[in-house]
A and B are shown apart, each in its own frame.
Chain A
Amino acid sequence: MNTVTMKWLLRREFWEYKGSMLWAPLAVAALLVLSIGATMAYGLAMHDLPTHITINGQTLNGYSVGVTLELRNRIAQVASSVYLGASLPLFGLLTAVIFSYCLGALHDERRDRSILFWKSLPVSDAMTVLSKAITALLVAPLITIVVGTIASLLLLLIGCLALGVNGINILGPILASPDLYLSPLRILALLPVYLVWALPTVGWLLLVSSWARAKPLMWAVGAPLVGLLMVKWVSVAAENIGGQPLNLMHHAQEVVARILGGIVPGIWFSFHDGLPPALRPGPNGADMNSLVSGSYATLTHADAWLWALAGAAMLYAAMRLRRYRDEG
């Protein structure tokens, strides 16, 4: 393993896919900050918070109505624990970016024949395929985490300022809240979990990208769907003949979910026990620690590792295919 070569290969991927890896999340983040931020600021500036109340002709202002210290702290706590939720659209975008990146990564270079240029340099097929897997599994998510955190912090700041204008100062409690600083680290801590669950999908997409002569999207999505249909047909036929329903459909759906859905952040909760109860939003915000512990708990299931192994095997197959793929 030559780390200098790997560094240049990763840089190469970044040059080629800068638009989808960097500019797209930046653009979406800017849009989020502008639209949500402006809505918050406008809403709070134009329509005052219900901080004063009129009872029997007497107007009480916010402080006496009861935006108490306790309430302020609760707002601050909720805000600092869930503020990263503002970056959710970015993680949706990330899924789409990784999906299209993987499908094109080993196909486009064959289509425009630039593979012959890359192959004229002392860079092995193993290194090349590995650099593309690392880009999909680590580089792209990292960029999204950084951009998402910055955007969320900006939104939190705008919210604080808007509330502050209305006389509710929560900036202090928020800055004092450990959750503010821990949340980005928690997301970062999820990256290894993401890597394990996304590996089967990244492996499958890169394999199709390396194998398909044309239309990798059609093969990557179409082949599993046709497979599903056939399994459905077989199980219906078996049920009609033998009278016993086969439990094949469940397994087939599972396979399709693993090889196509693995790159969706958080998908790992859907494979087993569902979302941990503590994560469901409550009055105190979500318990973000259980997000991390719950995610790591999914790795105790053996199938996580078996599927990751299958993903690695598909990467290996993609590498072997690239070695002798002759486009004439």
Chain B
Amino acid sequence: MNSVISAKGLTKRYGKRTAVDGIDFEIPAGRIVGLIGPNGSGKTTTLKAALGLVPFEGALSVLGFDPRTQRDDLMQDVCFIADVAILPRWLRVKDAVDFVAGVHPRFNREKAERYIASTSLKPGMKVKEMSKGMIVQLHLALVMAIDAKLLVLDEPTLGLDIIYRKQFYQNLLEDYFDEHKTIVITTHQVEEVEHILTDLMFIREGRIVLAASMEEIGERYIEVMVSHDKLSAANALQPIDRRTVFGKSVMLFDAGAPGASNGISRQQLAALGETRNPSVADLFVATMKGSYA
């Protein structure tokens, strides 16, 4: 079993609306995958299906389990943060640690307590007395002390200050991730996660429009600052996106698109102007063109 998540024809309908439209994908172990799409594109629904929170059609295997029928087994090895604000308001820090330690066989109590000690959280504090950032710290302390094979984060930093957001991802990388773990993150704030991802999946209107590793993306997509005299030559190569920065045209090319018969080489593009790798955000905007129309 190589794949942590394997989906074939995964479909989820809410009444007449199709939230996820027959998607196929594989997520191998030891990766940090960004599932990125606009609001309502089906990313949260996809994760809910994988976590056994909603029924669905099609085939979906998570760590070898079917989330529909084997959720109780699955949850021994999977953990998720669905939304930062979901810790119950009456919960005390020490009770939260006691409870998770009591019910989770893979929970490392010392690790959680060490992490909590490094924050301003006090053992007797209730969630309702905490700031939003502190709630995230508590939740993260609990989740990071669980030695899960798969961690799913759905918009984990929504509504947080920039300081907490940076800290959140930094802790995740430094204290949690290793080659035996897999992390899936959904967000629509692409800039924030692009430096920690190993893989990208763009989802749009219930379909996956791009799924590749960051290396592949680096090879395939090239951004060129086109000089004025080369504009028509550049347009002839059919850029997938163009914008203007300080009066200069910046064009985005797909060097490995199946449609381009002989492909576009880096040399060709280098002749047009300065080349560089596009940011995930620019790639996202180019790919999602039209879905915000």
Residues of chain A whose beta carbon lies under 8 Å from any beta carbon of chain B? 4-5, 7-9, 11-12, 15-16, 109, 112-117, 119-124, 323-324, 326
Contacts of A123 in B (CB 8 A): 75, 103
Q: Taking the complex as formed, is B100 at the interface, i.e. its CB lies under 8 A from any CB of chain A?
A: yes
Instruction: Tell me which of A11, A116, A124 contacts B99 (CB under 8 A).
Output: A11
Q: What are 18 A-to-B residue pairs whose CB atoms are below 8 Å?
A: A4-B102, A4-B103, A8-B103, A11-B102, A16-B88, A112-B88, A112-B89, A113-B83, A116-B83, A117-B82, A117-B87, A120-B75, A120-B143, A121-B100, A122-B72, A122-B75, A122-B104, A326-B54
Please count the residue pairs between chain A and chain B whose beta carbons lie under 8 angstroms apart in the complex: 72
Min CB gap B209→A, angstroms: 24
B interface list, Cβ under 8 A from A = 48, 51, 53-55, 71-72, 75-76, 79-83, 85-92, 95, 98-100, 102-105, 139, 143
Q: Give the one of A5, A113, A122, A123 with max B CB within 10 A.
A: A122
Which chain A residue lies CB-closest to B82? Answer: A116
Asked if A15 and B81 sit within 8 Å, CB to CB, the answer is: no
Given A112-B89, A326-B54, is A122 in contact with B102 using a C-beta cutoff of 8 Å?
no
* Chain B residue contacts of A115, Cβ below 8 A: 86
Query: Closest Cβ of chain A: how far from B219's Cβ, in Å?
Result: 37
The complex places the Cα of A9 from the Cα of B98 at a distance, in Å, of 11
Q: Which residues of A contact B91 (CB under 8 A)?
A: 15
Given the known interface contacts A15-B95, A326-B48, the answer about A121 and B103 at a Cβ–Cβ threshold of 8 Å is: yes
Complex contact B90–A15 (CB within 8 A): yes
Contact call B80/A120, Cβ cutoff below 8 A: yes
Q: How far is the CB of A316 from chain B (nearest CB, A)?
A: 16
Q: Looking at the assembled complex, report how far the CB atom of B43 sits from the nearest CB atom of chain A, in whole angstroms.
A: 14
Q: Which residues of B contact A7 (CB under 8 A)?
A: 102
Residues of B within 8 A of A116 (CB): 53, 80, 82-83, 86
Minimal beta-carbon separation of A220 from chain B (angstroms) = 22
In the complex with contacts A11-B99, A326-B48, A117-B86 CB distance below 8 A: yes
Q: Please give, as numbers and ranges, the residues of chain B lying within 8 Å of A109 by CB-CB distance.
A: 88
